[in-house]
Structure 1
Amino acid sequence: MTQWDIFTDVAAILYPIPRPEPGEEDFDGFLAARDQAAEDQQHAVENLRAAWEEGDQDPLIGALATARRAKEEAEQRIRGLLAYGREFVQPRPYTLGDLAAAAGMSISGVRTAYGHRDVAQVADATGAKPREWRAPHPDDRSATA
């Protein structure tokens, strides 16, 4: 009977060992992926234990906080890519439908997913100039009121 070990369990959730698909033709590729996942699990166990022993950081809470940060960073990248596709691509932007399908969002979700700050970040990152922005900036509204 194995003893419960939160470090090993959290690592297994973070880096699951893949299972071969029935009739999988690239068995060597599967073996490489399995070995990589096992190695990633071992490193995660070591890092989780070290964080616990050195800083008294709970392994589950730490993993959740890390996953949340990764999610927020991914959401920021999605907003930037959507802004690029709608505001920078010339002569016509990508359609809302194409971007919605690729991002797993609704058309209205794409329309409201990004704002002026996201457009400015894309402009800074790429050096590109956005097409004319049609929506008023919140600061513009307060200046006329």
Structure 2
Amino acid sequence: MHPIHELAAVLYPLPEPGSVTPDDCFDDAREQIEVLRKQYADNLDAAAMGTDGEPLILALEQARAQKEAADRRIRLIFAYAREFYPPRRYPLRELGEASGYTTSGVTAAYGEQQIKLVQSQIHRAPRRSALDGDPS
């Protein structure tokens, strides 16, 4: 098997028997994963040829970019949950448990930049002015 296809197999593992519900969808699930593997391998191969890059290094760079994008989304969700979400302000403990952050990590993860970005997307002011000093 070609290394790009092996990498695709690592990143898109086939489902195990008994892991798909209902059982009669198992073959469809395997087929979908095979399609994802082929698409991933084809895209990675094309990117490597187009940039003369090493496929494994490109895969790591893509994974890092996805990780950074996920981190940005988490920070925006924190800002929304703490500063905008009606009808209540989510407790730090609950957000920390759901995200894998500590409670202090939640408060440190977002700031004015994220609050302003959320505000610009939902077109309303944060509830922050009414809640300043609330440590929950």
In structure 2, the gaps of 5 or more residues are none
Match of 1:36 among 32, 35, 57: 32
Identical amino acids, percent of aligned pairs: 39
Q: Note the aligned Cα RMSD (angstroms).
A: 2.0
Match of 1:97 among 71, 93, 97: 93
State which drifts further: 64-73 or 41-50.
41-50
**Map of 1:127 onto structure 2:** 123
- Deviation, structure 1 residue 91: 5.0
For residues 64-143 of structure 1, the aligned pairs below 5 Å read 64-90=60-86, 92-132=88-128, 134=132
Equivalenced residues, count? 131
Q: Which has the larger radius of gyration?
A: 1
**TM-score, scaled relative to structure 2:** 0.84
State which drifts further: 106-115 or 72-81.
106-115
- Deviation, structure 1 residue 43: 1.5
State whether residues 48 and 58 of structure 2, in contact with CA within 8 Å, keep that contact through their aligned partners in structure 1. no
Alignment CA distance shift 1:36-1:25 (3 Å): closer
**TM-score, scaled relative to structure 1:** 0.80
Match of 1:14 among 11, 16, 35: 11
Q: Deviations over 1:28-50 (max 9, x none)?
A: 33322211111111122222222
Alignment CA distance shift 1:58-1:94 (3 Å): same
